[in-house]
Structure 1
Amino acid sequence: MQSLKILMLCSAFGLGTSIPASASSSIWYNSEGGQVRLVTSGKPDEAGRVQGVLDIALKPGWKTYWRDPGDAGVPPQIDISPSTNVASAAFSFPPPQRHDDGYGKWAGYDHPVSLPVTFTLSAADQPAIIVADVFLGICETICIPVQTRLTIDPASDADNAKDAAQVKAAFAALPAPPRPDFGVNVLPGDHETLIVEASFPGDPEAADFFVAGERDYMFGAPLRSQKDGKLVFTVPILDRPSTTPTDGGLHYTLTSADGAVEGLLPFP
């Protein structure tokens, strides 16, 4: 989305800082396209993990991005380095939707969405204060970068039933692991294409495939075709690292009328 690049370079609109909160959720940060806050629930588990969500209350007509925003957007980002006793924070993503804004096709959400986030404490038995610098794009006809600092003491209201229910629902809505009858199989491609065969329940017209450009990969929108009665997605590889990584893989999500799965693909 070229308009997002222009706004990011030319304007500081959307910058803000929240005051510290004395509860397991932060105060709302208000932007032109909606509101953003952090919510946590419960005490850390034995591994020192605290579950939470980035709660994005979009106004009607506004959208925000999935983990891969296409060739001109920005994915949601979180920096917890100002925190006390917090080692890391990792987003998970509910199933996205395909959008076309006239500049390109990209993956995201056109409704209020809670992005699950897992905070890992440095020491599970020590107090923690989450101070998170959050950055994301919220888009209508143009995209506006939203940047704010959200602060939480997750132990101050760890038994809050409303917060617990919201966090539980967000994690429950994540895509399931792939299975033999619902997932993808990588087919032979070439240096410029990633090709997968999809298996899924329900109507083929409702199915869609999303792959995240990571480790210097960049992908175009997938093309749909049929092969031996199977739905095949051919994804253009727009850019790739000079050397193919040998560890990890690429995150993908396969959506259908009956749910979604996610997993990792080998690097093409």
Structure 2
Amino acid sequence: MSPMSIIALFANSLRMCGCLAALSAALALASPAQAGSSPWHEAMGGKIRLITAGGSANEDGSLLAGLEIRPDPGWKTYWRFPGDSGLGTQAEFAGSANLATAQMAFPAPTRHVDPYSVTIGYEGPTVLPILVHPQSADAPVSLIANVTMGLCKQVCVPVMTQLQVELTPGAPADAPQAAAIRTALAKLPQLAQPGDPLSVSRVSVEGGAAPVLKMTAQLSDPDAPFDLFVEGPEGSYLSVPTLETQDGDRAVFSLSLDGLASADGKALLRLTLVNGDKAADQTWAIDVP
């Protein structure tokens, strides 16, 4: 399933719940009784587990879970694309019972610069929401997540583990876990297109032997921090864009296309533009020289 389809599934699920605000209110009012969570998996640099919000299923029958990551002080973890180095966070759900589909989404990340590389990820406690569709709406889902990720400080530690949690429609809700998932949902980048208040409005490829991608970003709040991240097709090894100029609500970034995987001279890019507490998610097809 494509990244855009995953975002659309989350958006559709939230609309069926009466939009994010209604979902948030429902989770906030839920009973404080314990919902499901897996045991913590502890590693050098932090620990991770699966959590669930509990409560009734959404109108489309989907349930909400999350991958909770708690790095130790001074440690960080990576986004799905780590940047110049590191291990992107991934989860596969093979082996789960009564599961039709499960998609993990990523809140807007931040850029981290050290003397050796530029990486993309999260500092402090983080929850990655997981949208779960059961095969049978009336039966529990035994969600198994095979997680691969990295924790990094002076050294980077790979983490590979299997986590498991039960999701039962109508189970008692857990207010703290529901609130953590709700907060993560609010940080998901929203689908955007050129012309939106927060969007990438122009992308061009310049140069010959060493092509460079030029991207013009439209900012909704030019006084707030902003950043842009670019992902290429599978097999790509891109760096992180560099800010060239900012003029009011327009910012221009550049990125070397060295390491971009392409097919028949074309590539589909995924752009994530972050501006303050908002973020936009776009795809852009380019011709590669």
TM-score of the superposed pair, with normalisation by structure 1: 0.81
Give the equivalent residue in structure 1 for 2:51: 39
Give the equivalent residue in structure 1 for 2:39: 27
Amino acid at match of 1:29: H
Q: 1:79 & 1:154 partners in 2: Cα distance?
A: 17
Give the equivalent residue in structure 2 for 1:172: 186
* Number of positions where the alignment pairs a residue of Structure 1 with one of Structure 2: 246
Give the equivalent residue in structure 2 for 1:200: 219
Q: Is the 8 A contact 1:196 1:232 kept in 2?
A: yes
Give the equivalent residue in structure 1 for 2:203: 187
Counterparts in 2 of 1:206-225, with a 5 A limit? Answer: 206-225=225-244
Give the equivalent residue in structure 2 for 1:9: none
Amino acid at match of 1:70: G
Give the equivalent residue in structure 1 for 2:126: 113
Give the equivalent residue in structure 2 for 1:82: 95
Worse-matched range after superposition: 63-72 or 158-167: 158-167
Give the equivalent residue in structure 2 for 1:264: 283
Cα-to-partner distance string for 1:62-120 (whole Å, 9 max, x where unaligned): 01111211243221111211210123322211111111233311111122111112223
Secondary structure of 1:167's aligned partner: helix
Secondary structure of 1:89's aligned partner: strand
Q: 1:32 & 1:84 partners in 2: Cα distance?
A: 30
Amino acid at match of 2:68: D
Q: 1:207 & 1:220 partners in 2: Cα distance?
A: 17
- Aligned-residue offset at 1:246: 7.3
Give the equivalent residue in structure 2 for 1:135: 148
* RMSD value, Cα: 2.6
Give the equivalent residue in structure 2 for 1:159: 173
Q: Is the 8 A contact 1:217 1:237 kept in 2?
A: no
Worse-matched range after superposition: 163-172 or 187-196: 187-196
Counterparts in 2 of 1:138-149, with a 5 A limit? Answer: 138-149=151-162
Q: 2:96 & 2:48 partners in 1: Cα distance?
A: 19
List gaps (5 residues or longer) in structure 2: 1-33
Worse-matched range after superposition: 132-141 or 192-201: 192-201
Is 1:236 the counterpart of 2:256 in the alignment? yes
Cα-to-partner distance string for 1:206-249 (whole Å, 9 max, x where unaligned): 221111233333322212223876311111112233415979x4
TM-score of the superposed pair, with normalisation by structure 2: 0.75
Is 1:99 the counterpart of 2:88 in the alignment? no
Give the equivalent residue in structure 2 for 1:73: 86
> Alpha carbons of 1:205 and 1:172: their partners in 2 closer, same or farther (altered >3 Å)?
closer
2:270 is aligned, of 234, 251, 255, to 251
Worse-matched range after superposition: 126-135 or 46-55: 46-55
> Alpha carbons of 1:242 and 1:209: their partners in 2 closer, same or farther (altered >3 Å)?
closer
Q: 1:238 & 1:123 partners in 2: Cα distance?
A: 46
> Alpha carbons of 1:111 and 1:227: their partners in 2 closer, same or farther (altered >3 Å)?
closer
Q: Is the 8 A contact 1:244 1:267 kept in 2?
A: no
> Alpha carbons of 1:222 and 1:32: their partners in 2 closer, same or farther (altered >3 Å)?
same
- Aligned-residue offset at 1:167: 1.5
Q: Is the 8 A contact 1:196 1:234 kept in 2?
A: yes
List gaps (5 residues or longer) in structure 1: 1-21
Q: 1:217 & 1:205 partners in 2: Cα distance?
A: 30
- Aligned-residue offset at 1:152: 0.8
Worse-matched range after superposition: 196-205 or 131-140: 196-205
Identity of aligned residues (%): 33
Q: Is the 8 A contact 2:81 2:89 kept in 1?
A: no
Amino acid at match of 2:77: T
Q: 1:122 & 1:197 partners in 2: Cα distance?
A: 43
Amino acid at match of 2:122: Y
